[in-house]
Amino acid sequence: MPGRLASALLTVALCGVTLSGSAIAATERWVVESDKSRVGFDAFHSIANFSGASETPSGEVELDIEDLKKPITGALTVPVASLRTGKAGRDKDLRRGLDGERHPEIRYRIDKVESSFVSLTDNTDVLLTLHGVLSMRGTERPVSFMGRVRLRQGTLWVRGENRIRPVDFGVPPLRSWLISMKEHVLARFDLVLSKAK
């Protein structure tokens, strides 16, 4: 009997150490790989649409890939000067409209994430709704993005999009052929994140 009791206590103790250790290490920090990521937008016009993008976003997120119901936080930053539309004159107008000299970054802070599944597994998409605050031209507003995340070869691949109104952030409408663009743009992101070392 004493042998069984000792064995049982040892098993409970080992399980407790394993569980507490995994709980502490479960939430991990993941960092955006800038050279493999892209943040952009599609603008719409009655004559011709155009797109713009940054190839140098940065950011990070903290989450537990085995329990997506736990709090998830993070941030994404895009330098205004890195946005390119394919036309130098339009790029200059865009930077002016975003007041890039006084507000050199567009930032998004993730406050809450809703997911379609409780955990991530290799090569399976999980649908997400990201809720947070978008900061542009010195104005902050709550914005949500619909997206998906996939665990792929030890990295996280996160994509998402939503329509936003730049005028809500004080950004004047871009003009083409003296005609203003439509008030909404489709903001998009395609990110690769790796575990922080």
Tell me the average pLDDT across 5-27.
Answer: 48
pTM (predicted TM-score): 0.83
Q: Specify the pLDDT at position 176.
A: 59
Exposed/middle/buried for residue 81 (C-beta within 10 Å: 0-12, 13-18, 19+): middle
The pLDDT value given to residue 11: 47
Count how many Cα atoms sit within 13 Å of the Cα of residue 145 in the half-sphere of its side chain.
23
Q: For residues 4 and 34, which has the higher predicted lDDT (pLDDT)?
A: 34
Does the pLDDT value for residue 2 go beyond 90? no
Mean pLDDT of the chain: 87
* 164 confidence band (pLDDT: 50, 70, 90): very high
At 4, the pLDDT band (50, 70, 90 cuts) reads: low
pLDDT for position 146: 98
Q: Tens of pLDDT along 25-83?
A: 489 999 999 999 999 999 887 777 889 999 999 999 999 999 999 999 999 999 999 99
Contacts of 55 (CB under 8 A, 6+ apart): 34, 35, 37, 38, 82, 84
Token output for 56: 């140098």
Domains and CATH numbers, the chain: 27-195 (2.40.128.110)
Q: What pLDDT score was predicted for residue 6? A: 47
pLDDT of residue 5: 45
Q: Which residues pair with 54 in a beta bridge?
A: 39
DSSP-assigned letters across all residues of 148-162? EEEEETTEEEEEEEE
What's residue 13's pLDDT?
43
pLDDT in tens, 117-132: 999 989 899 999 999 9
Mean pLDDT of the region 131-157: 97
Q: What one-character-per-residue DSSP string does 3-20 give?
A: HHHHHHHHHHHHHHHHHH
* C-alpha to C-alpha distance for 123 and 108, rounded to whole angstroms: 26
